[in-house]
Structure 1
Amino acid sequence: MRTRSHRPRRRHNPLRRRSDVVEAWVVVVVAVLLCVVAPLTGTVAGLFTYDRARTHAEEQ
């Protein structure tokens, strides 16, 4: 009868290098930042431009 250990096994895949795992996490972080920061930057730029145009129109 075989006994099994109840702790999770880490599988050591020789094709899964540490640099590949780090690169994958960097890609995920960059993608999330792009999805969050790009719309925020556009919104802030739009609000700033709208405010400046409104101020300019009031001065005229």
Structure 2
Amino acid sequence: MLIRLVHAIGASFDEILAPSVNPDDDEVTDRIKQLITQCSRRDQELILGLIDKMLDVKEEKQ
């Protein structure tokens, strides 16, 4: 039952069993977490690649 509930809300067991208090979490982060679970594995990998590239470019500019 717990497994189904965790999957239904799009969370991980880590989030449920040991939630972290992160002051930077906001609506955008929560929305991204919610939406990413609806994407295919391939789409998730593409999004991850995009984020990695964005951070690389940001780091290069600094």
Question: Is the pair's TM-score, using the shorter chain for normalization, greater than 0.5?
Answer: no
Q: Which has the higher contact order (CA 8 A, sep 6+)?
A: 2
Normalising to structure 2: TM-score of the pair?
0.40
Name the larger-Rg structure: 1
Normalising to structure 1: TM-score of the pair?
0.42
